[in-house]
């Protein structure tokens, strides 16, 4: 077979392929259509349920059947995405107006997943059937081929309500994401009607009807003043708070009860919220909470915080808003597919697109109904005329040889081959001019239709048909008539499916939490060789001094408001607040330091632990394995971050000592090869914490620093070397960067 090689730039092919892929995800998967507010998977699932006849007034059907049929006919992207869409459309805590009536375990607000599709059942909600899927047989929307061109599917559903606002939407596409909050059906319908009546309404005017988002979980929107800007731009942040009530209990005590949560707290975040409250208690941020219980049920959210007598409930509320997700932000990005392309829309634009869509749908609907009535009119007029000449028609039927002969006579007056009783009858038959549709109706007419009462019924039906034609023509030709029909339909939906607003709106000040002044107390910080830390009272330490000094690697006397610096061999320093360290009895095990700061025991080892107050006004000396030394001002480590770099290291190097050396202190460096170098610490230059330092001792190739000793004034350290003992204060005092003397 002859082939042709096409040369192309690889980057051009990749760019085109990626753009095609991105647009496919954006248009066909992730973003909703502004007209019906549905993503393709939602639209296909609802249409498939409609096709299967799973109506609101019929029995439930297995979810697996719905998912399998949808995947086989319309959405070949995997069963999990279809079932997940089905589940979300059935969850009343996620949707402002659920579209699917689920039967079985469809998950919970606390993050429990739905049961497998083989266990659950579903059917359409009444509102879905009446407001989303009605009139599909009236050519109201375009249909297109499915993925393998064996079925037809609607390109958009003829949704009668602004579903994009009512149910909202969220989705992540390629390079863009949508996040539209749900709204109240009644408010949205009122705004839609107002815009139909006056298409010059501004966003501010529309907000007299749509007060703001209405989340199914309730809660309070506390930045109402920002909503107009969000609705005008289609982007912004909504601040949400949970609803907290104060209940009186016996003994003069009170308790806080959380009855509504922010929409963003659904799922696993409820458990995290409870853990955050427990953490506030453990870290002594509050001592007012004595018990936490989650009493939520199908009836609603109820999280109870039992308080001690005399607790400051207002401060505790502010603490929860500030330190937990009881106050959270909902990012708004009203992105949807409009006219075939993704577009960030304002509130007014969304309503305008919906209204235009409603006029288009109703135009097609009433045009279809008008065509049907006009055909009915034609048939009815033919039958009425036939009743007037019924004797002639019977004579034609008796004198004809076949149906075609009769039909030719009725339509074109052809009398050839037909036997008539009289020449007059033949002459009258030649004058007949029925249409082909009328002729077929006459030929299909049954004899009982000639009864007088049946003729009267036919006349009444004809009158009704003429009225319908006049009405449909008026609707199609007059904007006001069409608008009246749309608004009347919206009123019916509001009356049947509307509900009160759940989310309150207010303009609240930013929470200002005044930290309670902590009483400063002297404590003793203990850290054992395994990295477990705790603090104890000074008097407790004095009673157990000997045991404490023997069992712990570090014992620091400091204040409970102080911070502790944990220096590690990889050149980092982790700052640990003593208020976060458990305070208790001497024999308490304590908590691993890993749990209280960013220290990772699997990747680093602590080599020095010091109280920040002790080193803030001193100078720290660093020594590394490759004999780099430097001095750093202690106040450089007084930072707000939990972890910073204490020194810069060369490849393969590590810190082996950090020491707060005095001015008269001397350093003894010991290498693996047995060389000892003694020199004053004052010879080490002062550097920044980010510096590498200078060389402390000249090392032979392959040699490293094995140990460091510090000789304060008039002190001595004995080091065993083989069978003898070396007194370090007898070593010759040299200068930094010397080779040292060999002692082995």
**Number of other residues whose CB lies within 10 A of the CB of residue 487:** 17
Please measure the distance between the N-terminal and C-terminal CA atoms of the chain and give it in whole angstroms.
Answer: 85
Q: Find the helix packing angle between 479-497 and 185-197, rounded to 10°.
A: 170
Residue 116 DSSP symbol:
P
Pairwise CA distance, residues 282 & 564, whole Å? 19
206: which 2 tokens? 């529309």
CB-based contacts of 72-77 (< 8 A; 24+ apart in sequence): 73/44, 73/48, 73/146, 73/150, 73/151, 73/153, 74/44, 74/47, 74/48, 74/146, 74/147, 74/151, 74/153, 75/40, 75/41, 75/44, 75/45, 76/147, 77/29, 77/41
**Number of other residues whose CB lies within 10 A of the CB of residue 340:** 9
For 555, phi then psi, to 5°, come to -130, 115
Q: Residue 342 pairs with which residues in a beta bridge?
A: 337
Give one DSSP letter per residue of 142-190, joined into a string.
-EEE-TTSSSEEESS---SS-HHHHT-EEEE-SS-EEEE----HHHHHH
Give one DSSP letter per residue of 487-529, joined into a string.
HHHHHHHHHHH-----SEE-B-PPP---PPPPPP-EEEEEE-T
**Number of other residues whose CB lies within 10 A of the CB of residue 744:** 9
Closest of 16, 8, 44, 35 to residue 165, by C-alpha: 35
Residue 71 Cα distances to 44, 45, 55, 77, 105, angstroms: 9, 9, 20, 7, 22
Residue with tokens 């308490």: 588
Q: Which of 18, 119, 532, 554 is catalytic?
A: 119
C-beta separation of 349 from 199 below 8 A: no
Q: Residue 705 pairs with which residues in a beta bridge?
A: 671
User: Catalytic site residue 119?
Assistant: yes
State the catalytic residues.
119
């Amino acid at each position: 077979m002859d082939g042709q090689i096409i040369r192309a730039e690889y980057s051009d092919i990749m760019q085109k392929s990626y753009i095609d892929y991105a647009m496919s995800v954006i248009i066909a998967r992730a973003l909703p259509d502004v007209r019906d507010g549905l993503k393709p998977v939602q639209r296909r699932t609802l249409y498939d349920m409609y096709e299967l006849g799973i109506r609101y007034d019929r029995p439930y059907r297995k979810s697996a059947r719905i998912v399998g049929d949808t995947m086989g006919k319309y959405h070949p992207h995997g069963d999990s995405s279809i079932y997940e869409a089905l589940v979300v459309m059935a969850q009343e805590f996620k949707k402002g107006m659920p579209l699917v009536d689920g039967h079985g375990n469809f998950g919970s607000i606390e993050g429990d997943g739905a049961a497998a599709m083989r266990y659950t059942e579903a059917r359409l909600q009444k509102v879905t059937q009446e407001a989303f899927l009605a009139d599909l047989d009236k050519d109201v929307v375009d249909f297109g081929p499915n993925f393998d061109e064996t079925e037809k599917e609607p390109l958009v559903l003829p949704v009668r309500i602004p579903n994009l606002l009512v149910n909202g939407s969220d989705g992540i596409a390629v390079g863009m994401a949508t996040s539209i909050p749900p709204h109240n059906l009644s408010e949205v319908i009122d705004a839609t009607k107002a815009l139909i009546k006056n298409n010059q309404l501004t966003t501010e005017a529309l907000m007299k009807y749509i007060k703001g988002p209405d989340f199914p979980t309730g809660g309070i929107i506390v930045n109402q003043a920002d909503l107009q800007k969000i609705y005008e731009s289609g982007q912004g942040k909504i601040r949400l708070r949970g609803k907290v009530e104060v209940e009186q209990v016996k003994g003069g005590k009170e308790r806080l009860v959380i009855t509504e949560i922010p929409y963003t707290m659904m799922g696993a975040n409820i458990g995290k919220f409870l853990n955050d409250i427990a953490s506030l208690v453990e870290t002594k941020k509050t001592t007012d909470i004595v018990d936490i219980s989650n009493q939520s049920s199908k009836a609603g959210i109820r999280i109870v915080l039992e308080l001690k007598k005399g607790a400051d409930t207002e401060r505790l509320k502010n603490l929860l808003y500030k330190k937990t997700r009881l106050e959270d932000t909902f990012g708004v990005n009203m992105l949807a597919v409009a006219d075939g392309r993704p577009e960030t829309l304002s509130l007014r634009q969304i309503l305008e697109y919906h209204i235009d869509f409603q006029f288009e749908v109703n135009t097609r609907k009433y045009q279809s109904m008008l065509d049907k009535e006009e055909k009915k009119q034609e048939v009815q007029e033919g039958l009425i005329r036939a009743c007037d000449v019924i004797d002639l028609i019977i004579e034609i039927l008796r004198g004809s040889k076949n149906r075609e002969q009769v039909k030719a006579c009725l339509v074109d007056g052809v009398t050839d081959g037909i036997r008539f009783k009289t020449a007059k009858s033949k002459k009258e038959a030649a004058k007949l001019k029925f249409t082909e549709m009328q002729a077929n109706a006459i030929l299909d007419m049954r004899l009982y239709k000639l009864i007088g009462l049946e003729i009267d019924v036919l006349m009444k039906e004809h009158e009704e048909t003429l009225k319908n034609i006049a009405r449909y023509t008026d609707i199609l030709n007059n904007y006001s008539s069409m608008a009246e029909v749309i608004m009347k339909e919206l009123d019916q939906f509001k009356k049947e499916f509307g509900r009160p607003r759940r989310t309150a709106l207010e303009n609240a000040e930013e929470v200002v939490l005044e930290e309670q002044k902590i009483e400063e107390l002297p404590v003793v910080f203990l850290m054992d060789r395994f990295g477990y830390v705790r603090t104890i009272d000074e008097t407790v330490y004095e009673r157990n001094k000997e045991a404490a000094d023997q069992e712990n690697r570090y014992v620091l006397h400091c204040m409970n408001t102080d911070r502790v610096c944990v220096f590690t061999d990889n050149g980092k320093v982790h700052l640990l607040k003593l208020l976060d360290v458990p305070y208790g009895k001497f024999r308490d095990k304590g908590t691993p330091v890993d749990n209280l700061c960013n220290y990772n025991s699997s990747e680093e080892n602590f080599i020095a632990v010091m109280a920040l107050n002790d080193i803030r006004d001193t100078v720290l000396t660093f020594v590394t394995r490759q004999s780099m030394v430097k001095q750093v001002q202690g106040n450089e480590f007084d930072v707000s971050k939990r972890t910073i770099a204490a020194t810069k290291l060369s490849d393969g190097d590590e810190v082996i000592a950090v020491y707060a050396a005095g001015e008269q202190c001397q350093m003894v460096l010991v290498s693996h090869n047995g060389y000892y170098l003694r020199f004053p610490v004052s010879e080490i230059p002062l550097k920044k914490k980010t510096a590498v330092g200078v060389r402390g001792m000249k090392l032979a190739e392959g040699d490293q620093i094995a140990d460091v000793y510090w000789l304060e004034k008039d002190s001595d350290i004995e080091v065993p070397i083989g069978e003898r003992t070396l007194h370090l204060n007898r070593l010759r005092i040299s200068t930094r960067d010397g080779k040292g003397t060999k002692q082995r």
